[in-house]
């Protein structure tokens, strides 16, 4: 079964600095999707960034970028120029191309200090 591990329950970053959130996953499949979701205190989960396993190039969305290491089964999220609005729970998620359920890590609570 696919599992997703986030080893950092909490992280803290100074405003305008850079922070990296870690995620590892376990799978025997070759094709899948990886995601980072953000859940602010208002609770709605929103997508931050996605990566398709067959793409070697790391995904980037403005200040958010990932370091995808397929062989190592690692998928970290880098947030550059952190803003107060980035404070939230961040979930790493895996979704097989064939199975329909999405597997989530336990989450990392990010605090941004002014």
Chain residues binding another protein by CB under 8 A are 33, 35, 37, 42-47, 50, 52, 91, 95, 97, 99-107
Tell me whether residue 13 or residue 34 sits nearer to another protein (CB atom). Answer: 34
10-14/108-113 β-pairing:
parallel
Q: Which residue is listed with tokens 């996953």?
A: 25
CB of 47 to another protein, least distance (A): 6
Tell me whether residue 64 or residue 104 sits nearer to another protein (CB atom). Answer: 104
Tell me whether residue 26 or residue 81 sits nearer to another protein (CB atom). Answer: 26
Cβ(58)–Cβ(52) below 8 Å: no
CB of 109 to another protein, least distance (A): 11
Tell me whether residue 9 or residue 85 sits nearer to another protein (CB atom). Answer: 9
CB of 83 to another protein, least distance (A): 22
Kindly state the tokens that stand for 85. 């609005």
Q: Which residue is listed with tokens 């803003």?
A: 83
Sign of CA dihedral 56, 57, 61, 66: positive
CB of 24 to another protein, least distance (A): 16
Q: Minimal CA–CA distance to 85: which of 48, 40, 49, 43?
A: 40
């Amino acid at each position: 079964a696919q599992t997703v591990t986030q080893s950092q329950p909490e992280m803290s970053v100074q405003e305008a600095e850079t922070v990296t959130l870690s995620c590892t996953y376990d799978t025997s499949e070759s094709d899948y999707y990886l995601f980072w979701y953000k859940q602010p205190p208002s609770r709605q989960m929103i997508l931050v960034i996605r990566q398709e396993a067959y793409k070697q190039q790391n995904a980037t969305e403005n200040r958010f970028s990932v370091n995808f290491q397929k062989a190592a089964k690692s998928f970290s999220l880098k947030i550059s120029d952190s803003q107060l609005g980035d404070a939230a729970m961040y979930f790493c998620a895996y979704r097989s191309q064939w199975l329909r359920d999405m597997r989530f890590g336990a989450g990392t609570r990010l605090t941004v200090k002014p």
